Amino acid sequence: MASVTVKNLFVSYHRGRTIAVDHVSFAVEDGKFCVLLGPSGCGKTTILHCIAGLIRPTSGEIIIGERVVTSTEKNIFVRPQERNVAMVFQEYALYPNLTVRENLAFPLECQRLPKKEIAARVQSVAELLGITDLLHRRPAQLSGGQRQRVALGRALVRQPTVFLLDEPLGNLDAQLRVQVRYELKRIQRQLRATMIYVTHDQTEALTLADKIVLLRSGKIEQEGSPQEMYEKPANLFVAGFIGSPPMNFIEGQVLTCEGMLLIDAGIFKVRAEALGIAKNLAPGTKVMLGVRPADINARPSSPQDLLLPAIVDLLEPLGDSAVVHVLSGNFKFTAKWEGGSLKPGGLVSLFLNPRKIHVFTLPDGMRVSKIEDGAAGRAEEAFP
Amino acid sequence: MSTLVGRGLVVTVLVVVTLLYLLPLWGAFTTSLKTDEEIDLTSPIAWPQRPTASGYIGAFNHLKRALLNSVLITVGGTFGSVGLGAICGYVLALHSFPGANLVFLLLAAGIFLPFQAILIPLFQTVRALRLYDTIGGIVLAHTAYGIPMCAVMFKTFYSEVPKALVRQALTDGSSPWRFYWRVVLPSTKLATVTILIFQFTSIWNELLFGLVLGGPRSMPATVALNNLVGTLAAQWNIQMAGSLLLAVPVLIVYAFLGRYLVRGYMAGAVTAV
Ligand SMILES: Nc1ncnc2c1ncn2[C@@H]1O[C@H](COP(=O)(O)OP(=O)(O)OP(=O)(O)O)[C@@H](O)[C@H]1O
Ligand SMILES: [Mg+2]
């Protein structure tokens, strides 16, 4: 396995009128699981194709392991068939005329491995993915989920430098998706494989990734561990994209009152100091406050908690808990509810720890860092 | 009631048209079985009183060398043009390279070149290559002339192979060649058969190249049959038998592969997922 480094990758189409990837740089360490995350059309597939050598970027450099495989500056381009990357495509792309066994064996035949070894590897991958019964079938005779597993298997039979997976679970039903996702993570750990995985599903990203690269319109918005992205979203876009149900946002303004800095959000006022922000905001600054539904509780967690009286609008039961949509004044928000039963139209008291409120300055939408950020950063390094 | 009448009308028209089409063929068939005297005395479509194979024997003796030439020319020209055209079509359809559009444009233009326009330069080229009056020379001409048509037809068929498959093959470590042999060719059999038949029939039936580039040693059967008309003025039975002999290989090909032909024209010809 190998590390992957992408430097200043730029891809434009239509003579520069469409920019698919805009000076993207990131690195994936050897044996790590990296997720490229972002809304549709943000350039995820294009980046993956560049790494695989299927697209020559307009400019930029890609290094796999020690080897420069693409460099517009040094005029280097290694052909895809010589990069030894295993790719699973958004479409399953199984060879229609070959059986499942032949599909799985195809990449190994290309490496001219001995027949015996091919047969053995195909067999073990088929067992791993539970498709031994399907080996004699053709792709047209398989269900969507089975096809997807064959496509995964065709990548796993190889010993590539890196796995590139483009929404490989997109067409599976919810249950199978969770199962295959788990399998994939287990296999990745077991093989210590470097994987770059594309998805627009943030849950998938949070559960799978060692590192997330979040993209929008061809640019990186933030990269980091799932925990970092969740706890310290760099800006409003990241905050809104990561987490389900999404973060609640409420606009506010910084005021001074009797020498104290306050943030007035309409339905509540909060002392700036209580938020634990690392820098002082000038009075008059407009801010956006963000609160995750999970941080709004039925019971207070500290004496500083803000109380939000609200009217229940809608209840989405999730089995053990529920997502409750409530109205406070004319502000609508969602909360994770683990208390007793609620009725639409009923009154409810919700508590919110001000420490958990994310503050973003407007209009740039950048997060205001918090006092605990530094400490958390250090704690994370100790984490293996 | 009216639909029944309508159907009857349609069937009648179809039968009449079919008979009109078959009549000359029938005439040729009956004439080929008659003796010279009977041809002079009876109507061309009457069944011979004493059918004889002498017309066929005569025709075969006159044409056997030319028929062999035709077989060699047709097989060589068909495989040459279809083989090379397939490779061109494959690369044009599924692999991009600089200048691909220009190449395609030139090939497409090649289709519209009339035979007659290239005949003299072709003759000069073939003679300069010392291939005049050789099977090889005629095969070369048919191959070169057939490539554009084959390439464009193959490109059309191969364009239906999903691009994702090509990308998959490349990242699987396959060369474009291996992908072609292992996946593209086997999943487009209908297309290949369709184009093979198309080329086979056009080269087998072709007259002009054979006339200009062929001589006594290499002339194809079409040319030899044409000469027969000139030399054996009154021997209708031999001429008719010769014509029918010439039609036999085409009929055989259609009988065995015709169903592919229809399917190839009708369906997408590609069995991709
Ligand atoms: N061949 C092309 N020609 C022109 N524009 C292209 C081409 N390929 C991609 N694009 C554009 O580049 C942008 C990024 O496309 P890309 O396929 O990488 O998105 P994506 O993040 O994979 O989206 P999705 O989640 O929908 O698969 C899009 O705006 C797309 O329209
Ligand atoms: Mg994509």
pLDDT of A287 over the 50 cut = yes
**Dist. CA A32–CA A210, nearest whole Å:** 6
Residues A309 and A284 both lie in one domain: yes
Q: Per this entry, what is the length of chain A?
A: 384
Give the closest of A80, A91, A97 to B171, CB-based: A80
CATH number at residue A361: 2.40.50.140
For residue B85, give the nearest of B147, B153, B140, B142 by alpha carbon.
B147
| pLDDT of B27 over the 70 cut | yes
pLDDT tier for residue B25 given thresholds of 50, 70 and 90: confident
Cα A228 to Cα A376: distance, rounded to the nearest angstrom: 9
A261 and A285 in a common domain: yes
Do residues B136 and B40 both lie within one domain?
no
The answer to whether residues A208 and A284 belong to one domain is no
Alpha carbon distance A64, A78 (integer Å): 11
Summarize the confidence of residues A310-323 as an average pLDDT.
Answer: 84
Interhelix angle B100-111/B54-94, rounded to 10 degrees, is 160
Q: How much is the pLDDT for B271?
A: 41
A53 plus A166 within the same structural domain: yes
One domain, residues B146 and B44 = no
Asked if residue A263 and residue A234 are part of one domain, the reply reads no
Judging contacts by C-beta atoms under 8 Å, the chain B residues touching residue A91 are 162, 164
If asked whether residues A303 and A377 sit together in one domain, one would say: yes
For the CA of A218, the nearest atom of ligand 1? 14
- What's the pLDDT at B228? 79
> Using one digit for the tens of pLDDT, what is the confidence trace for B30-40?
888 888 778 77
Query: Between these two residues, A112 and B257, which has the higher pLDDT value?
Result: A112
Give the whole-angstrom CA distance, residue B241 versus residue B230.
Answer: 15
Same domain, B268 and B192: yes
Q: Are residues A225 and A362 in the same domain?
A: no
> Residue B13 sits in which domain range?
1-52
Residue B102 has pLDDT above 50, yes or no: yes
Q: How sure is the predictor about B264, in pLDDT bands with cuts at 50, 70 and 90?
A: low
pLDDT at residue A69 in the model: 94
What is the extent of the structural domain holding A39? 4-240
Which of A135-149, A215-229, A339-353, B189-203 is modeled with the greatest confidence?
A215-229
Of the three residues A190, A208, A240, the one that is the final residue of a domain is A240
What tokens were used for A144?
Answer: 């969507």
Asked if A236 and A250 sit in the same domain, the reply is no
Of the listed ranges A127-131, A340-344, B100-104, the one predicted with least confidence: A340-344
pTM, 2 dp: 0.82
Q: Per mean pLDDT, which of A170-179, A273-282, B8-17, B54-63 is the most reliable?
A: B8-17
Say yes or no for a CB contact (<8 Å) between B271 and A79. Answer: no
Task: Provide mean pLDDT across the span A322-333.
Answer: 86
Same domain, yes or no: A151 and A197: yes
* pLDDT tens by residue, A144-202: 888 888 998 999 999 898 999 998 887 777 888 888 888 889 889 988 889 999 999 99
Mean pLDDT of B20-46: 84
- Nearest Cα neighbor of A118 from A137, A103, A97 is A103
For residue A378, the model assigns a pLDDT of 41
Chain A residues contacting B, CB < 8 Å? 49, 52-54, 79-87, 89-98, 106-107, 109-111, 139-140, 154, 158, 164
Residues A90 and A205 reside in one and the same domain: yes
What DSSP element (H or E) covers B262?
A: helix B236-266
Q: Residues, chain B, total?
A: 273
Q: Do B135 and B7 lie in a common domain?
A: no
The domain total for chain B is 2
Please write the tens of the pLDDT for every residue from B166-209.
999 999 999 999 999 999 999 888 889 889 988 999 999 988 88
- pLDDT given for residue A62 in this prediction: 96
Could you tell me the pLDDT band of residue B53, with boundaries at 50, 70 and 90? confident
Question: Is residue B223 domain-shared with residue B97, that is, in the same domain?
Answer: yes
What is the best residue among A11, A44, A214, A216 to mutate for testing ligand 1's pocket, by most ligand atoms within 8 Å of CB?
A: A44
The predicted model gives B108-135 an average pLDDT of 88
The SS3 assignment for A382 reads helix
Together in a domain, B131 and B41:
no
In this complex, which of B167, B174, B186 lies closest to A97 when CB atoms are compared? B186
Q: Are residues B80 and B169 in the same domain?
A: yes
Give the end-to-end CA distance of chain A in Å, rounded to a whole number. 20
Q: What is the CATH number of the domain that holds B238?
A: 1.10.3720.10
- Domain edge (last residue) among A240, A272, A303: A240
Q: Domain boundary residue among A201, A225, A240? A: A240
